[in-house]
Structure 1
Amino acid sequence: MLRFAARRLLLALAVALAVSAIAFLLLRVSGDLATTLAGEEAAPAEIERIRSLYGLDRPLVVQYGEWLLRSLSGDLGRSLFYPESVANLILDRLPNTAILAGLGLVIALLLSLPLGVVAAMWRNTWIDRTALGIAVLGQAMPSFWFALLLIFFFGLTLGWLPVSGTESLANFVMPAVALGWFSTPVLMRLTRAGMVEVLGADYIRTAHAKGLPVHVVLVKHALRNAVAPVVALASVQFGNMLSGSVVIETVFALQGIGYLAWEAISRKDFPVVQGILLVVALFYVLLTLVSDLLNAWLDPRIREG
């Protein structure tokens, strides 16, 4: 297990380095940053002054090296719009996005795991078809449209929940449901497929023949082996929620990093965009590493392979 973990850690570090280079280069290939910062109508002398001020006249390798060293120390630069550092902006907004994504993933798992297990146990019946129909509906409905429906019914019509803000946990209920609902179908289908395969295995029939209770066979023997790919996908979905919460945070006016990214893009605040790209990408790398280790712990065949 330690050797497997060490290999995965080295791979994660290599991916993180590649991700940092991509995050740095993405904004450079979009055009001349000095012209963008100075404005299209700026004089050439002013553009050159901006280029020299921000070090944009140096080779890209040198710029990347300096930016990477600063980033490792937590210095992601300063915002061009807000009077504070990029790191502070991200740290201020990150908890809201983390709460939203965490609640969204919990809701997705609470819906998808039981639906997947039930659909597999009664496959090819009306129960299975109903569960698959829910999955298709969830995949087809855009998240922003579902969010607007939630606001209309539970926020405006019934008045049960607040429609914006981050003052209490109640503010996160509708955004988390909207975010988690979109991830439920893919997790449910994967759970169902894994359970269908596992329930037909010889050791499951042996467990039933020994007279073990149905819930013990399902939870201890079947679900543990079927859930390994779900764990990997859930970590990816959590990363998707962190990075893809822009629409939901905008609809519900949640002050998270998704909403901050939208503000930074609209205001051409390039240091903030670059910092968010780096932080979210590193979260992806970390979540993938954690999912690999969890899968290896759940299924010894993975680490032995």
Structure 2
Amino acid sequence: MLRFTLRRLLLALVVGVAVSAIAFMLLRISGDLAISLAGEDASPADVERIREQYGLNRPIIVQYAEWLWRAVRGDLGRSLFYPESVANLIMSRLPVTLSLAGAGLVIALLISLPLGIIAALKRNTWVDRGALGVAVIGQAMPNFWFGLLMIFFFGLTLGWLPISGSDTWLHFVMPAITLGWFSAPVLMRLTRGGMVEVMTSDYIRTARAKGLPARVVVLKHALRNAIIPVVALCSVQFGNMLSGSVIIETVFALQGIGYLAWEAISRRDFPVVQGILLLVALFYVALTLLADILNAWLDPRIRRG
């Protein structure tokens, strides 16, 4: 297990460096940053002065090496709009986004796991078709539209929940449900498919022949093997929630990194955009590493392979 973990950790470091390079290059290939910072009506002298001030006239490799060295030490530069560093700005908004994504993933699992298990046990019945219908509707409806519907009914019409802000846990209810509802269908289908495959295995028939209770057969023997691909997908879904929070946080006016990214893009605050891109990408790498280790712990065949 230790050797498997070290190999995956080394691979994650390589991917992390590659991701940092991509995050750095994306803004460079999108156009001339000096012109964007100076403004479309700026004179050539002003543009050249901006290029000199921010070091944009140096070779791109030199710029990336210096930026990476500062990023490793936690220095992501300073915001062009806010009077503070990018790192402090992101860290002040990150708890909101992490709380939202974590709550959304929990809600997605609370919806998808029971539905997936029940649909697999009641395969080809109205229960199975109903669960698949819910999955289709959930994935077909855009999350921002579902969020707006929730605001209209539960916020404006019924007045049960606040529609914006992040002051109390009640402010996270509708955004978390919106995120979870959109991610639940794919998790439900994967759970159902895994359970259908596992329930026809020889060891499940043996467990039933031994007279084990149905609850033990399903939850202890079948679910443990069926949930392995779900664990890997959860890491991807959590990363999707972090990146997809740009839309949800904008709809519900939550002061997280998603809303910060929208503000930074609209204000051309490129250091903040670059820092958020790097952070979200590294979260994907870390979550994938965690999923690999957890899958290897659940299934010894993975680490032996």
Q: Quote the residue 1:29 is aligned against.
A: 29
Report how far residue 129 of structure 1 moved: 0.2
Aligned partner letter, 1:146: F
Q: Quote the residue 2:206 is aligned against.
A: 206
Is residue 2:196 matched to residue 1:229? Answer: no
Q: Quote the residue 1:170 is aligned against.
A: 170
Taking only the aligned residue pairs, the percentage that are identical comes to: 77
Q: Secondary structure at the match of 1:244?
A: helix
Normalising to structure 2: TM-score of the pair? 0.99
Q: Following the alignment from structure 1 to structure 2, what is the Cα–Cα distance between the partners of residues 301 and 89? A: 43
Q: Following the alignment from structure 1 to structure 2, what is the Cα–Cα distance between the partners of residues 61 and 28? A: 12
Report how far residue 42 of structure 1 moved: 1.3
Report how far residue 216 of structure 1 moved: 0.7
User: Which stretch shifts more, 222-231 or 157-166?
Assistant: 157-166
Report how far residue 50 of structure 1 moved: 0.8
Q: State the Cα deviation string for residues 74-122 of structure 1 (Å, max 9, x = none).
A: 0000111111111111001110000000000000000000000000001
Q: Following the alignment from structure 2 to structure 1, what is the Cα–Cα distance between the partners of residues 289 and 239? A: 12
| Alignment map for 1:41-120 (pairs within 5 Å) | 41-120=41-120
Q: Following the alignment from structure 1 to structure 2, what is the Cα–Cα distance between the partners of residues 277 and 291? A: 21
Runs (4 or more) in structure 1 with deviation over 6 Å come to none
Q: Secondary structure at the match of 2:8?
A: helix
Q: State the Cα deviation string for residues 217-267 of structure 1 (Å, max 9, x = none).
A: 111100000000000001100000001111110110000101111111111
Q: Quote the residue 2:195 is aligned against.
A: 195
Aligned partner letter, 2:173: V
Q: Quote the residue 2:184 is aligned against.
A: 184
Q: Following the alignment from structure 2 to structure 1, what is the Cα–Cα distance between the partners of residues 83 and 277? A: 20
The two structures, once aligned, show a CA RMSD in angstroms of 0.6
Q: State the Cα deviation string for residues 148-178 of structure 1 (Å, max 9, x = none).
A: 1111111111111111111100100000000
Q: Quote the residue 1:255 is aligned against.
A: 255
Gaps of 5+ in 2: none
Q: Following the alignment from structure 2 to structure 1, what is the Cα–Cα distance between the partners of residues 76 and 116? A: 43
Alignment length (residue pairs): 305
Q: Following the alignment from structure 2 to structure 1, what is the Cα–Cα distance between the partners of residues 135 and 50? A: 52
Q: Secondary structure at the match of 1:14?
A: helix
Report how far residue 46 of structure 1 moved: 1.4
| Alignment map for 1:84-163 (pairs within 5 Å) | 84-163=84-163
Report how far residue 49 of structure 1 moved: 1.0
Q: Following the alignment from structure 1 to structure 2, what is the Cα–Cα distance between the partners of residues 235 and 39? A: 40
Q: Quote the residue 2:276 is aligned against.
A: 276
Q: Following the alignment from structure 1 to structure 2, what is the Cα–Cα distance between the partners of residues 175 and 83? A: 29
